[in-house]
Each structure stands twice: as C-alpha cells, then as structure tokens.
C-alpha cells in the first residue's frame, strides 16, 4: 500500500513536532538537574577554592571519603550481588517479602536509618558488644562511617543489579549448563558478562550514593570527617563561601567513576 504524499508529509511533521517536544522536556530536566551545579560554579571563585584547599588537613576528609566509599562499595558488591541474583531469578521463598526488605531502607530517611543503627549496633547492644571483641565500634569511627554508607547505598545496588540480572535470558544460562558448565562457571562466564552493563550502572549509582551519604553519617559517624560532613561543619563554622569549595571537590572526585562506568556500559551494550 502506498501512502498518499500529503498524509506522509503530515505524519512526518507530526513526528518532528513530537521530537521537538521531547527534546524540550529532556532539556528542562537536564538543566534543572544541573541547576545546583551551575549555582555552585557561579558562586565560587578560584581564590576561594585555593584558600579552602590550602587549609591544614583540607584533603584528609577527601581521603576518608574515598577510602570509606571504596570499602562500602566492595562490601555492597560482595554481599548484594548474591541477593540481587537470587531476587532476579525468583529463587527466594516469599519473593515480595525480600523485595520489601530491600526497598524499606530506601523509603527510610537516612537520618532515621542513623537513629535506628544506634539501637542496632550501638556500643551497648549485643551486636555492639560482639563488635567490640574484634576492636570495632559503630560510633564515631571509620567503621561506623563505612556502615552508614553501606546502609544508605545498598538498596540502590541490589535493585539495579537485580534488574541487570533479570535482563539476562535464563535460556542462555540453561544452555551453558547443558554444555557442562557448573553454576559458578555459568554465572561467571555467561550471566555476569551479559549483565555487566547494568551492573556497572548500578555500581556507579551506588558509588555516588555512598560518597554523598550524610544523614546516617551525621548520627553515628560524626568523626572521622568525610567530605559531606566536612562541608556541613565548614558551613556551620565559617560560612557558605568556605564550605562550597569542598562541594566542588566532592563532585570532581566522585564523578570519574560513574562517568567511566556509564561510558563502558554504553559500549558494552552495543557489543552485546
């Protein structure tokens, strides 16, 4: 069937119009998301950045944040991956219950997570006492900082990773099994490579969440200062102009990993 030229023209201009609307919508969201960053850049001067970073110990919160977030990421990866995989494959009894368990921390304000962690792992709780036997305290320590970051970030990874695993066709795993691969080998050689783009995106989001964790950190890990706490304390202590350079540092340091992950993920998707 041939389409009359007039109808084709009107359909084509309709598509162009809807593309234009979509582009404006996308732009609105993009610029709105970038708004705070633009405001940050507009209110920073090179002198204020240099002056803030020349303060003694200015880079210590950066080191603390990066190290704590890397450890938190490793813990989340190690413990969250099996849960995400089992959730994705529906191999857990009462699956909705597991999902609710993952979503609940996401719905709980981070400050409240911190308050509840006091009751759960504070020094005088049974878990706190067990931790103290191995010289760990979940209050005002580096360990407490990692713990707070893990709690704030883990749901983002588990949900993202579960979606990535769910996108892998189970028949491919079954085919690998028929060819003689065991569960672990199939997971390593078939499932993970196919889910890798999604896993990379999940890890990127989790990293960003861990680096920016603040609510639970404020309650259980006031010390040692990571970057978000340094920003808050500097704001209180010396005002906005001294605090904003640290916000820039946080963004500059935290950004490469997610950007790298998104680029790699995009290339990997094209290869699949």
Partner 1 sequence: MNWERRRLSAIFLVTASALVSVSVAPAAAATGSTGLANLASAGSLQLLLDRYLGPAFVRASGDRYQNQSAGSQGLAQEIVAGELSPNVFLPIGSAAMRLLEPRFTRWAVRFAASPLVVAYYPRGPHAGRLKQISQGKLPLKDLFTLMARPGFKLGRTDPALDPQGQGFVEMVHLAERYLGVSPVTANADLGGASASSQIFSETGLDASLQAGQLDAASAYLPQAVQLGMPYISLPPKINFGDPRDSPIYARATLTLATGQVVHGSLLDLEVSELRVGGDPGAGNAFIRFLLGSRARGILTRRGYTLLSPTLLGRRAAAPGWIRALTQKR
Name the DSSP letter for residue 55. Answer: S
Binding site for partner 1 (CB under 8 A): 16, 19-20, 23-24, 27-28, 31-32, 34-36, 38-39, 42, 111, 114-115, 118-119, 122-125, 128, 137, 139-141, 218-220, 222-224, 233, 235-241
Q: Minimum distance from CB of 140 to partner 1 (Å)?
A: 5
Residue 95: both structure tokens together: 């699956």
CA dist 268 → 81, 97, 156, 171, 248 (Å)? 20, 33, 21, 21, 30
Q: Minimum distance from CB of 24 to partner 1 (Å)?
A: 6
Q: Minimum distance from CB of 2 to partner 1 (Å)?
A: 22
CA dist 46 → 34, 49, 53, 55, 197 (Å)? 20, 5, 11, 15, 37
Residue number with CB closer to partner 1 (150 or 261):
150
Residue number with CB closer to partner 1 (133 or 270):
133
Q: Minimum distance from CB of 17 to partner 1 (Å)?
A: 10
Helices (H), 43-133: 46-53, 60-88, 95-107, 110-121, 126-133
Residue number with CB closer to partner 1 (118 or 163):
118
Q: Minimum distance from CB of 95 to partner 1 (Å)?
A: 33
Judged on CB neighbours under 10 Å (0-12, 13-18, 19+), 59 is: exposed
Residue number with CB closer to partner 1 (25 or 95):
25
Please list the helix, strand and coil fractions of the chain in percent, rounded to the nearest 5, in that order: 80, 0, 20
Residue number with CB closer to partner 1 (200 or 217):
217
The H or E element containing residue 91 is none
Is residue 224 reached through a cis peptide bond, with omega within 30 degrees of 0 on the bond before it?
yes
Judged on CB neighbours under 10 Å (0-12, 13-18, 19+), 272 is: exposed
Q: How many helical (H) and strand (E) elements, i.e. helices and strands, does the chain have?
A: 14, 0
Residue number with CB closer to partner 1 (14 or 36):
36
Residue number with CB closer to partner 1 (43 or 185):
43
Residue number with CB closer to partner 1 (27 or 255):
27
Judged on CB neighbours under 10 Å (0-12, 13-18, 19+), 232 is: middle
Q: Minimum distance from CB of 103 to partner 1 (Å)?
A: 24
Q: Minimum distance from CB of 19 to partner 1 (Å)?
A: 8
Q: Minimum distance from CB of 130 to partner 1 (Å)?
A: 15
């Amino acid at each position: 069937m041939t389409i009359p030229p007039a109808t084709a023209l009107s359909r084509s201009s309709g598509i162009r119009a809807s593309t234009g609307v979509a582009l404006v919508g996308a732009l609105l969201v993009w610029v709105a998301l970038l708004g705070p960053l633009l405001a940050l850049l507009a209110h920073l001067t090179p002198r204020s950045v240099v002056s803030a970073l020349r303060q003694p110990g200015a880079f210590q919160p950066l080191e603390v944040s990066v190290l704590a977030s890397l450890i938190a990421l490793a813990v989340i990866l190690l413990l969250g991956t099996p849960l995400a995989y089992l959730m994705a494959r529906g191999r857990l009894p009462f699956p909705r219950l597991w999902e609710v368990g993952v979503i609940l921390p996401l719905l709980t304000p981070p400050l409240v997570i911190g308050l509840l962690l006091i009751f759960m792992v504070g020094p005088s709780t049974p878990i706190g006492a067990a931790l103290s036997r191995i010289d760990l305290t979940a209050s005002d320590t580096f360990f407490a900082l990692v713990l707070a970051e893990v709690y704030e970030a883990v749901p983002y990874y588990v949900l993202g990773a579960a979606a990535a695993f769910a996108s892998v066709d189970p028949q491919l795993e079954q085919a690998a099994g028929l060819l003689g691969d065991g569960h672990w080998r199939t997971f390593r050689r078939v499932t993970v490579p196919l889910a890798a783009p999604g896993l990379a995106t999940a890890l990127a989001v989790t990293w960003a969440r861990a680096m920016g964790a603040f609510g639970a950190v404020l309650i259980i890990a006031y010390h040692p200062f990571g970057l978000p706490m340094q920003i808050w304390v500097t704001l209180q202590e010396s005002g906005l102009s001294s605090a904003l350079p640290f916000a820039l540092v946080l963004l500059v340091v935290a950004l490469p990993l997610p950007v790298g992950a998104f680029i790699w993920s995009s290339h990997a998707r094209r290869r699949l």
